[in-house]
């Protein structure tokens, strides 16, 4: 059958947005492989994601610390239900403030300097918690580490997406989540052997290493071009791709894309579907990600396990869940550029739905005599409850939590961060990424602040059944709103939202 006259035109226009066309011949194929193997790109990504390691470490810091401080001999440091709730949730309030700051910092300082700036409040926060003489110092330390986490949440995914090669952007885009998970796992492991003060001291190490390494890394070529620093941008891309690659071709494509978006987004342009559609998708994903309950589970993990009297000790259960989480997000990193983003999001939401439903139904229907819970109510002061379950049925909460974390880490954890950095238009990327972080962490603050109160008033099963309903909504949102970005350059993705033509995404 004779091809239509329109078909070659579509092919031609689509290929202009490919960083390295598949039909370019053996020479470009070799350059493509060389650019993928350039170790400097991976070093730059590693330096940046140390900020995510620190973020994951700080996020779950209350998990082993709350039980220890509930039984602290000093009244000045002893936590009750009210102060424990604030100690768990105030981190997210600081993260929201960091997201607001990132709206300005990302476009003024650039992605790399914004990440480096986050080291200051992070180091100060850990120092305050390590030397805390009262609850006020603990809360201030949590706010500062949360603020640093908010800045890195908005800056690191954007930095990685803008320096990454399209062929490995999915894998590298999962690195922030991998390092955050690794940070949480290290915290759980260290919590088995270190006092809560020394845990805070240990948190200083990745912060210091990060700021030293980033001093030697380049800034994002796209950011440099947006600032009119063309020569510096070309040098940055050459450093990231390698001298013996066709980096000049990619540079011209990036330059053309930046030139089309040289002005900052105006209020009138917000009405443009090219601007508001990707922003709404990114914000919606971050909102639903937090509503699925992951932050509540991670922050109060040991208390939840103590409450349901899992057959193992809560601190060992928490470390085991952290290990499963790391394994799952590693699988997502490997499969993201092969299976695609959407299929992983569907699988992730489905697993989370079943896990939350199982947890809620178990707590509701299993008699307290079998799961060793006390009136199924309080999580606070759980340090004084006996942890001697009499039935192996108490493994169900552990398995349900492990599958929930596995599902989250395979999709809705890493992919929401990656898609945020992929689909946001360049001219609004700094502000919009900050907005995503603000929405995400304000939602997380609300949930972690009221989680203990809801458990006290209605029982532990109610939050988990609510999270299950949200996960069902995640499935619908993925099917209706989320585009597939596997193997596409950022320029292709922008062209798709600008024109609405799916030929750009093929």
The predicted pLDDT at position 71 comes to 83
- Give alpha helix (H) positions in 261-272: none
Q: What is the DSSP secondary-structure string of 356-410?
A: HHHHHHHHHHS-HHHH--STT---TTGGGS----SSGGGHHHHHHHHHHHHHHHH
CATH topology of domain 38-217: Growth Hormone; Chain: A; (1.20.1250)
Mean pLDDT taken over the chain: 79
DSSP 443-485: HHHHHHHHHHHHHHHH-THHHHHHHHHHHHHHHHHHHHHPPP-
Q: What is the pLDDT of residue 379?
A: 56
Residue 260 confidence (pLDDT) above 80: no
Q: Dump pLDDT digits (tens) for 152-209.
A: 988 898 899 888 877 777 778 778 878 988 898 899 889 888 889 999 999 999 999 9
Query: For the chain, what are the domain ranges?
Result: 38-217, 269-367+392-505
Distances in Å between the Cα of 91 and the Cα atoms of 95, 141, 227, 414, 480 are 6, 9, 33, 20, 33
| Chain segment 206-230, per-residue pLDDT in tens | 999 999 999 999 998 888 888 888 8
* pLDDT value of position 240: 86
Q: Please determine, for residue 251, whether its predicted confidence score (pLDDT) is greater than 80.
A: yes
Q: Taking residues 82-107, report their average pLDDT.
A: 85
- Please tell me the predicted confidence (pLDDT) of residue 128: 95
Write down the CATH number for the domain with range 269-367+392-505.
Answer: 1.20.1250.20
pLDDT at 461 over 50: yes
The reply to whether 38-217 and 269-367+392-505 are identical in fold is yes
Residue range 359-413, pLDDT digits in tens:
889 888 875 545 544 444 455 554 444 444 446 677 788 888 889 988 888 888 8
Q: What pLDDT is recorded for position 48?
A: 94
When pLDDT is cut at 50, 70 and 90, the band that residue 458 belongs to is confident
Q: What is the mean pLDDT of residues 469-484?
A: 89
pTM: 0.71
- The whole-number pLDDT of residue 83 equals 87
């Amino acid at each position: 059958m004779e091809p239509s006259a329109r078909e070659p035109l579509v092919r031609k226009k689509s290929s202009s947005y490919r960083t390295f066309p598949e039909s370019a011949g053996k020479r470009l194929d070799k350059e493509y492989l060389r650019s993928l193997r350039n170790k400097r790109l991976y070093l730059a990504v590693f330096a940046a994601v140390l900020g995510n390691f620190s973020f994951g470490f700080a996020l779950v810091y209350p998990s082993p610390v709350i039980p220890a401080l509930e039984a602290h001999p000093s009244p000045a440091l002893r936590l009750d239900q009210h102060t424990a709730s604030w100690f768990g949730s105030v981190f997210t309030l600081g993260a929201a403030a960091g997201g607001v700051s990132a709206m300005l910092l990302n476009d003024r300082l650039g992605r790399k300097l914004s990440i480096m700036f986050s080291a200051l409040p992070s180091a100060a926060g850990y120092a305050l918690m390590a030397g805390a003489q009262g609850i006020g110092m603990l809360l201030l330390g949590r706010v500062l580490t949360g603020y640093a986490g908010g800045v890195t949440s908005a800056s690191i995914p954007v930095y990685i997406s803008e320096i990454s090669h399209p062929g490995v952007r999915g894998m590298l885009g999962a690195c922030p989540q991998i390092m955050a998970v690794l940070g949480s796992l290290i915290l759980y492991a260290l919590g088995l052997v270190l006092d809560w003060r020394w845990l805070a001291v240990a948190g200083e190490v990745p912060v210091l290493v990060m700021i030293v390494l980033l001093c030697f890394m380049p800034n994002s070529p796209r950011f440099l071009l947006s600032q009119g620093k063309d020569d510096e941008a070309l040098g940055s891309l050459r450093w990231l791709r390698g001298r013996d690659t066709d980096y000049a071709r990619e540079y011209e494509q990036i330059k053309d894309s930046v030139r089309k978006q040289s002005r900052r987004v105006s209020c009138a342009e917000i009405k443009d579907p090219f601007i508001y559609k990707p922003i709404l998708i990114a914000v919606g994903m971050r909102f639903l990600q937090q509503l699925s309950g992951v932050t509540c589970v991670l922050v109060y993990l040991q208390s939840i396990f103590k409450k349901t009297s899992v057959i193992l000790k809560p601190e060992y259960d928490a470390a085991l869940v952290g290990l499963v989480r790391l394994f799952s997000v590693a699988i997502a990193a490997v499969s993201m550029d092969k299976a695609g983003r959407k299929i992983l999001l569907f699988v992730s939401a489905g697993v989370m739905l079943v896990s939350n439903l199982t947890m809620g139904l178990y707590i509701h229907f299993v008699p307290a005599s079998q799961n060793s819970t006390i009136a199924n109510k309080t999580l606070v002061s759980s340090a004084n409850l006996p942890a001697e379950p009499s039935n192996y049925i108490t493994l169900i909460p552990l398995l349900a939590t492990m599958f929930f974390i596995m599902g989250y880490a395979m999709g809705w954890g890493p992919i929401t961060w990656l898609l945020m950095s992929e689909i946001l238009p360049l001219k609004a990327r700094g502000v919009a990424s900050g907005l995503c972080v603000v929405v995400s962490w304000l939602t997380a603050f609300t949930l972690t602040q009221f989680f203990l109160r809801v458990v006290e008033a209605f029982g532990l099963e109610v939050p988990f059944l609510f999270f299950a309903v949200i996960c069902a909504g995640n499935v619908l949102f993925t099917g209706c709103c989320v585009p597939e970005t596997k193997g596409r350059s950022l320029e292709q993705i922008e062209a798709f939202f600008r024109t609405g033509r799916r030929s750009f995404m093929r």
